[in-house]
Each structure stands twice: as C-alpha cells, then as structure tokens.
Structure 1
C-alpha cells in the first residue's frame, strides 16, 4: 500500500513541475486514472484524506479518488467498506478545527459526506440529518451548517438523479 502511495505522490509532484512537458503530463494522468480504478485506491485515499497535514496535491487527488468511488463505484463496496468510509470521513470532519483547516478542505470533506448521505439516507443511514443537526447545535456550528448546505445542493442537483420522493424526504427534515 505504501509503495502505491509513494508512486502516486511522485507522479503528482512530477505533474505539477513547470518543466514537465505536456506529453508526460498526459502519461501521468493515464497512470493516475489507472490507480484510481484499483480496488485498494479508495482505502489508500481514505488514509491520506484523514491526515489533513499531508502534501496538498496528494490530499486533493485522494479526495477526488474518494469522490470517484462514492459517485461511480459505490455498488462495488461491501457494506463494511461503506461503513468504514462513511465513519472515517464523518469522524475526521467532525473533529476538524474550523480555525486551522482551510475552508476548501472543509468543504471537500462536506461534499464527500453529502454524496454518501444522498446515497444512504434514509434507508442505510437513517441518522444522517440528525448527525448534521447535532453538529449545528455544538461548537462545530460552522461544520454543521456547511454540511447541511452542501447536502441540500447535492440533493437538488440533477446528478445521480435523486428521485422526487427522496428529495421530499430530505426536505421534510
């Protein structure tokens, strides 16, 4: 796992070097896309995403890999893997320091959690909205409001075609 992570980090560093020619950048993109499709990619990416203080290129690539798995490969995950992904993202997000973590990173976490919430609420994760509201009522108010706003945007968007019935259920909260 660490060798894959080291390879991805090296590719990202090379990609972002000003001297890297466009032909090489396309090759790197192909390699990164291949990594993203590997069955262990989401697990490696989850570890990276949970450590906020990592290389920013690696962190953002990891979160985009998680978004890929949540949006396009969710059905390939087992129930335990879905739970691990959901709980790790939630716990990391709920423990973020609003003062010390850049807004873009907080919003990225909220986006990932909202994507999962949109897929799982109410059937597989009935407490999703309750957890959001608990954040609003705590000292993590900003995180709760951010998560509710992004969840609302996700539910109302046409991506993934949320049924009218599910939209109504979200709105009833």
Structure 2
C-alpha cells in the first residue's frame, strides 16, 4: 500500500510547486479602544479629589496618557487576517523525498489524499490487487493536479511526433519561406 500511495501521490502532484502558507493575524483595535475608554471614564470620575499639587499633576499625566492612547487607537484601522502563499522553488516530489514518515503523512493529510480499499476475496493475496483500490486527492490541490495533468499530456504529445493531429488543425508539408508567405 505504501508503494502504491507514494507512486500515485507523486504521479498526481509530484511536479506541482510546493508553497508555504503564512497566516498573518488581523487586528481589531475596538476591544482595546473600549477598555481604554472605560478606564479613562473611571479616571475622569476621580477628577478634583486630589489635594496636593503632586497628586493633581500625576492625575493629569495619567489622563493625558489615556487620552493619547485613545487617539492612537482611533487612528488605527481594522486589519483582516490573511494568508500569504510563498513559493519555495521546490516540488512536492522534492519535499516528499526529504520528509520522514510523519512528514509524508502530514503532506497526504494536508493534500486531502484518500485511499479507498474494497473488500477482497478469501485466498491470502500476497500482492496489491489494483482493482480493489482507489486513490484520490481532493481539496486545494485539485486545480494544480488538473494543470499538471494537462501539462504532462502536452509534453507527452510534443515528445511523440506520431501522435494524432489536433481536431481542426491543418498540417503544411515542405514549408519554405515562400509557402509560409503565401499561407499568411
């Protein structure tokens, strides 16, 4: 099973570029703004209760600091959390071969890989019966898998000059600069 899953996983996504996803948390100043405003309101209730000039100066210093903090928080905008996708320059195959068992398992889980095995017949099979298994990857890699399959088909067609022509395509034989000029 391990060999089958490895070969199928690498066949489907081996050439796909591996990326790192960095989650950047958002910021909402509103909770801190509310807490600071409540602290400022409570501080304002203490106004005039100070008897000494030093206490009055300290009260005013604290009031000014809370006011400045409120102004700073009001100037900040809300930032939504986001994901940043950074290409690594490596393929899934590169990462697979460099990973240990736990890393490979994590790659399969993250990719949404699934292996379905149908019930077999009695008889003690010694080899994997491919008619009983189905490997699929669903999730974020679906578009990449389709792109990689299309690219592999295109490359295979280029490598095999005897492939069937594309429907609707016209082939020119004995192309020379003169025939190209008249065809254009």
TM-score (normalised: structure 1): 0.26
Q: Which has the higher helix share?
A: 1
Q: Which has the larger radius of gyration?
A: 2
